[in-house]
Amino acid sequence: MTKMKYYYKQAEKMYIYDKIQLEEIGAKLNISRRTLFYWRKKYEWERKRFEAERNQEIFSNELFVFARKLMQKISADIDNDRQTPQSEIYSLMNILKNLTPIKQNKIAKQKVNPLTPTKQLTPKTIGQIERDILGINLN
């Protein structure tokens, strides 16, 4: 791979996926602004960046909906004293780790109506989760 081809691929990735400005890319890779502007126009980096952002948003939304459904199922299992498969809990934990920070901020910013009771984990519920789901018995 030629040196310029390597720099092109690296610059394209930095612009499209890392969302770094052309000036910063030029400084990091020692490439002229003119070359970067040429590549951006010729190889349609703006369109590729828009598509990548759109695909990420669609995926995040689908992942968020799935996580919500899985959380509701686990919550229903707990409310009805049913055993929740450990794989579902691990899946939910991994999904929550991988939700984009934007989606996590949306969740955090949702306003909670103070008149609506919210379900919170009580020490009793945590003990039940540890005992029934995780198999930890501290007594």
Give residue 30's region: left, alpha or beta (phi > 0; psi -120 to 50). left
The lowest-confidence range among 19-28, 49-58, 95-104, 128-137 is 95-104
Q: At what angle do helices 3-16 and 33-42 cross, to 10 degrees?
A: 70
- CB–CB of 53/38 below 8 Å? no
- CB–CB of 137/131 below 8 Å? yes
pTM, whole model, 2 decimals?
Answer: 0.57
Residue identified by tokens 């791979």 is 1
Q: What is the CA radius of gyration of the chain?
A: 23
Give the Cα separation of 90 and 76 in Å (integer): 17
- CB–CB of 84/74 below 8 Å? yes
Q: What is the pLDDT of residues 70-100, one digit of tens each?
A: 999 999 999 999 999 999 988 888 888 777 6
Q: At what angle do helices 3-16 and 45-79 cross, to 10 degrees?
A: 50
Instruction: Report which of residues 15 and 121 the model is more confident about.
Output: 15
